[in-house]
Structure 1
């Protein structure tokens, strides 16, 4: 092969290496020509069998009583050193000092960075990477750590099976503003374009986490962005964190994935990866499946309707019983009144005199006549006895 042929071959190889390096560094996207469906073509690990995120089916999780609460170390001891907030074209990132870390894991893990994933502000459901029983949240926060007990830095750890530990916090919206997230959101306008950075005041990183750090799901997975190394011990908290709708809208609409120099501005939206197959992996839970069971909106509606019907039925039964008691009381009172109007002796029976025996009228008349006759005879006899006897003349 002549020198010209060698030169052409080397030139082609150079362009191939340059293109590959460009893809690995900046060119991948969530949609488009180098979107999620094409990641595995350029990053082989993205087609692996232990990829993240996943859909956590709570009834299929396995309770592991040995899983203890996660213990943030140094999260609230931020000191006076500012944090660096940046837009890397894929998400918003805060670099964290290595003296922040996590306890409650098999090894000591030191903090590296935190970042966010969100949707597009439209009616479509999505924003979080992990889902629970098929339901996604509005956004998701990740706090990334590396195994500083076994490896010297993040670069060495991220390719190892036990190299990384990531906290996943699902974010939902409500009416109240979350002041902790304003420590990030209030500065997004200063990093609207890709590759922009700004120093922000340090704050308590633990204030971004749920209150309950003892209820979570644990599984082995991967980075959710290229190169998708399968080196992550995931902890996805059961409790959601709430922010306001205005805060979510700021997150979804203020940043661009394009550089400031680019004429075509592209909003940084829908920066979440779709859920990946579990492929026989087991998702462990730090709490029992029944106590952590999530109910669908249909199940909640059915329970509410059932409770309401039960309350109505109970009220009807109680009303019937009360009416029945009143009816029998009134019936008893009416009976008493009727009896008392018929005869007062039925009430005061103890004071009623004994009845006198009755005698026929003819018998009474004969007895009276006999009494008169006897009385007359007796009277005559008494007169005769009292009168003097007659004397005889000589």
Structure 2
């Protein structure tokens, strides 16, 4: 745990909460959740309009007007206000984060705490503090009291891969005298909204958030639509094949029909066979050469 000093007049105060924070909020603690790279899904807050990030920084404030300290305030419904900053990794180091990372070696094991010198906490935040989501929620660590007014900025900040690796490898979730367990993937999984109202400081585009039942209905409807489309396509294909097959059969029948069946009037009459195959009809082939019996033929005159 990294505690921000608030014992004198030079204690850091932050007006990043803008309106809506309970009483006079004093920054008291910085916490960070993260996932091992390169998976990079370690943010505790996952708004649908902001892509998932590698880590998330929480600047925890407590209501100093009503409660004497952080321990008392966290048990009260209006006790805490947390600023959430989504963190991405890049090539360049973020100088503001060294104010925290340089002291991680003093809180390596569970149960340890350290106070760090005063610095401008606002340097940890994104430049655009006017775009954020706000809702009433809980702490991300046990006992998860429902005592937090969350403010999550939409603009992300970047730290280097080296800085991210330090977050992943320096801290342990175990006690100092126990077997060391590296503190990684220490983010809380997204929780149900439970009828919470999420406010935004800017006009939202038309973003439709579907419930589990609506998603199931959409999936089932899409599957039924695909099945119906497949049935229609199959019916059309079978119909086309049927008509093609019928057309081919007609062409085959027409091509096998004899031309004599088409024109029976010009078919020649069949020649009858003779009863006596040995006899042949004798016919004088010469023209006008048939003579009568007993009649002499006139001689043919010749020229001298």
**Pairwise TM-score range, normalised by the shorter structure:** 0.5 to 0.7
Q: What's the secondary structure of 1:249's corresponding residue?
A: helix
Retained in 2: the 8 A contact 1:120–1:253?
A: no
Q: What's the secondary structure of 1:269's corresponding residue?
A: coil
Q: What's the secondary structure of 2:182's corresponding residue?
A: coil
Distance 1:207 1:126 in 2: 24
Indicate whether 1:259 and 2:200 are aligned: no
Indicate whether 1:105 and 2:14 are aligned: no
Distance 1:243 1:251 in 2: 11
Q: What's the secondary structure of 1:131's corresponding residue?
A: coil
User: Partner of 1:285 in structure 2?
Assistant: 200
Shift of 1:115: 1.2
Retained in 2: the 8 A contact 1:222–1:231?
A: yes
When structure 1 is superposed on structure 2, of 166-175 and 95-104 the one drifting more is 95-104
Greater share of residues in helix: 1
Retained in 2: the 8 A contact 1:129–1:136?
A: no
The counterpart of 1:207, out of the listed 118, 123, 126, is: 123
Tell me: CA distance 1:226–1:178, structure 2 relative to 1, closer, same or farther (3 Å).
same
The counterpart of 1:164, out of the listed 61, 80, 89, is: 80
- Return 5+ residue gaps in structure 2 as ranges: 209-304
Retained in 2: the 8 A contact 1:173–1:243?
A: yes
Retained in 1: the 8 A contact 2:34–2:41?
A: yes
Aligned CA-pair RMSD? 2.5
- Return 5+ residue gaps in structure 1 as ranges: 1-91, 294-394
CA deviations 1:204-250 (Å, max 9, x no partner) are: 21111111111100101111111111111110001101101111111
User: Partner of 2:288 in structure 1?
Assistant: none
Shift of 1:102: 4.4
The counterpart of 1:130, out of the listed 37, 45, 66, is: 45
Distance 1:165 1:236 in 2: 11
Shift of 1:132: 2.4
Indicate whether 1:222 and 2:131 are aligned: no
Count of equivalent residues? 200
Retained in 2: the 8 A contact 1:174–1:245?
A: yes
Shift of 1:284: 0.6
Distance 2:69 2:101 in 1: 29
Alignment of 1:27-42 (within 5 A): none
User: Partner of 1:93 in structure 2?
Assistant: 2
Alignment of 1:1-394 (within 5 A): 92-97=1-6, 99-103=11-15, 104-106=18-20, 107-121=23-37, 123-133=38-48, 135-198=51-114, 200-262=116-178, 264-290=179-205
User: Partner of 2:271 in structure 1?
Assistant: none
Where relative contact order (Cα < 8 A, 6+ residues apart) is larger, the structure is 1
Distance 2:135 2:115 in 1: 34
CA deviations 1:65-86 (Å, max 9, x no partner) are: xxxxxxxxxxxxxxxxxxxxxx
Retained in 1: the 8 A contact 2:44–2:188?
A: yes
TM-score, normalization by structure 2: 0.60
Retained in 1: the 8 A contact 2:3–2:113?
A: no
TM-score, normalization by structure 1: 0.47
Distance 2:115 2:79 in 1: 28
CA deviations 1:271-294 (Å, max 9, x no partner) are: 11001011221111001113999x
When structure 1 is superposed on structure 2, of 129-138 and 100-109 the one drifting more is 100-109
**Could you list the runs of 4 or more consecutive aligned residues of structure 1 that deviate by over 6 angstroms after TM superposition?**
none
Distance 1:156 1:190 in 2: 25
